[in-house]
Amino acid sequence: MLGTGLLLYFLSKEIYVINHETVAAACILSVIIYGVKRFGSDVAAFADKLNEEKVAKALAVKNEAIKDLETAIELEKKEQWRVEGRSYLFDAKRNNIAMLLETNYRERLLMVYNEVKKRLDYQVAMQNLKRQKEQDHMIQWVEKNVIQSITPQQVLAFIRFTFYSVQIFAVL
């Protein structure tokens, strides 16, 4: 129903005009549909057969490569086992030297860390002291200027306002 209504709407509003290309498209579409219905299953079977042959060849190559790699792994394990027997002594010596070097390195690193930390702590303490002194000086300066800026008229007005407020609260 929707398709028919939509088609009639397009045709009546001349959104789509039927011409020779429409007829040709309908013919081509019908030939394609006929071809798919008639030969589709045979073509699909042939394509599946080709695909299965490709997959079988790929699996054969993969299995052969896996066998070769497994053989190579076994040979490499045997060689590693042979070399491992001779290298125990040299490994122990190398490990001892490496451990000594690592210990020396870490001791020096700790010493440098502690020295740098001491210096940075000193700098932080100095900055905090300077900031505290500046802050104290700023507070004293502001208090001094505020006290100097208060006039006797302002003090008198504040005292009157306070007495007035107390009288209002006393009445309530």
Q: Quote the pLDDT of residue 3.
A: 84
Q: How many CB atoms lie within 10 A of CB 29?
A: 10
Please tell me the distance from the alpha carbon of residue 60 to that of residue 54, in angstroms, as a whole number. 10
What confidence tier does 40 reach under pLDDT thresholds 50, 70, 90? confident
Please tell me the distance from the alpha carbon of residue 118 to that of residue 116, in angstroms, as a whole number. 5
Please tell me the distance from the alpha carbon of residue 4 to that of residue 11, in angstroms, as a whole number. 11
Please tell me the distance from the alpha carbon of residue 96 to that of residue 164, in angstroms, as a whole number. 90
Triad 98, 99, 103: Cα angle to 5°: 120
* CB neighbour list of residue 18: distance below 8 Å, 6 or more residues apart: 11
Which residue carries 């057969």 as its tokens?
Answer: 49
pLDDT in tens, 46-66: 999 999 999 999 999 999 999
pLDDT in tens, 107-142: 999 999 999 999 999 999 999 999 999 999 999 999
State yes or no: pLDDT of 80 exceeds 90. no
The beta-carbon contacts of 164-167 under 8 Å, at least 24 apart in sequence, are none
Average pLDDT over residues 68-81: 92
Tokens standing for residue 22:
């429409």
Tokens standing for residue 104:
């020396």
Q: What pTM does this model have?
A: 0.35
